[in-house]
């Protein structure tokens, strides 16, 4: 009986350790998708994936609406465009405005590019809203000088999945400040 109990305890405890390892250290096992022997002959069975495609920038009529949403577990004042939460990139600059998220940023972080018509505002101070000309020539809407973006993976008006991505993305408040200071 004692032997059986000890074996069972060891078995299940090892299972617990495995669970711990898999949650905290996937960097070891990773997501290796094929088998190859490092240091052996180059493996011709591994094929290169197609590069990601950067979508073309789109100018549109911009409207900003102040509202509420849960951000990092707390209700906060936020801004929405097209019923999606609006973000700022902490590595951009606001005085003066400067866009530092270009090129493949368009894949994940669609910028708010104005078509030149006045920005429609609801609950947002008009004095805080402006624009900046990007390196690609498009005009991006700013709030307190910060260029504004959406996060592609937000699907509903309450999604704030982009908060904290890379440690540099923030849900923006109607005054242009981040809900969660970085």
Partner 1 sequence: MYYTNMFRGFAVVAGAALATGLLSGLAGTANAAPGDVPPAKDRVIQPQGTKNLLVPTGANAGARIVAKPRIGQAQDTPESQVWTFDNSKKFDQNGKPISGGVSFVFQPTFGKPGVRALCIDVVGDSKQAGAAFELRPCDGTPSQVFVRVGDVQVPFVQNVLSGLNMEVQANGAVVQQPFVGRVPANATPAERQALQARNNAQHFLLSPKAFGVGGA
Q: Which residues contact 151 (CB under 8 A, 6 or more apart)?
A: 84, 85, 87, 108, 109, 159, 161, 162, 165, 169
- Would you count residue 3 as binding partner 1 (CB under 8 A)? no
Contact window for partner 1 (CB under 8 A) among 40-48, 112-120, 121-129, 138-146: 40-48
Taking CB under 8 A as the rule, which mask of x and - marks residues 137-156 in contact with partner 1?
A: ---------------xx---
Please state the closest distance from residue 134 (CB atom) to partner 1, in A: 14
Please state the closest distance from residue 91 (CB atom) to partner 1, in A: 3
3-state secondary structure the chain: CHHHHHHHHHHHHHHHHHHHHHHHCHHHHCCCCCCCCCCCCCCCCCCCCCCCCCCCCCCECCEEEEEEEEECCEEEEEEEECCEECEEECCCEECCEECCCCCCHHHHCCECEECCCCCEEECCCHHHEEEEECCCCCEEEEECCEEEECCCCCCCCCCCCCCCHHHCEEEECCCCCECCCC
- Would you count residue 95 as binding partner 1 (CB under 8 A)? no
- Would you count residue 167 as binding partner 1 (CB under 8 A)? yes
- Would you count residue 74 as binding partner 1 (CB under 8 A)? no
Cα–Cα distance for residue pair 30/172, rounded to 1 Å:
34
User: Judged by CB under 8 A, how many residues of this single chain contact partner 1?
Assistant: 69
- Would you count residue 96 as binding partner 1 (CB under 8 A)? no
Contact window for partner 1 (CB under 8 A) among 4-12, 63-71, 76-84, 113-121: 4-12
Contact window for partner 1 (CB under 8 A) among 25-33, 56-64, 118-126, 133-141: 25-33
- Would you count residue 109 as binding partner 1 (CB under 8 A)? yes
Q: Which residues bind partner 1 (CB under 8 A)?
A: 1, 4-5, 8-9, 12-13, 15-20, 22-39, 41-44, 46-55, 89-91, 100-105, 107-109, 152-153, 161-162, 164-169, 181-182
């Amino acid at each position: 009986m004692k032997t059986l109990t000890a074996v069972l305890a060891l078995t299940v405890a090892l299972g617990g350790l495995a669970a711990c390892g898999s949650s905290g250290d996937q960097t070891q096992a990773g997501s290796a998708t094929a088998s190859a022997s490092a240091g052996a002959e180059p493996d011709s069975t591994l094929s290169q994936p197609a590069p990601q495609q950067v979508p073309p920038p789109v100018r549109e009529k911009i409207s900003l609406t102040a509202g509420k949403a849960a951000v990092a577990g707390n209700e906060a004042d936020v801004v929405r465009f097209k019923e999606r939460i609006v973000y700022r990139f902490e590595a951009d600059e606001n005085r003066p405005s400067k866009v530092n998220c270009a090129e493949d940023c368009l894949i994940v972080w669609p910028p708010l590019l104005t078509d030149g018509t006045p920005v429609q505002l609801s609950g947002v101070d008009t004095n805080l809203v402006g624009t900046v000309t990007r390196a690609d020539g498009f005009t991006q809407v700013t709030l307190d000088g910060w260029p504004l973006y959406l996060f592609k993976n937000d699907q509903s008006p309450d999604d704030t999945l982009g908060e904290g991505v890379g440690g540099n993305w923030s849900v923006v408040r109607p005054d242009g400040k981040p809900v969660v200071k970085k």
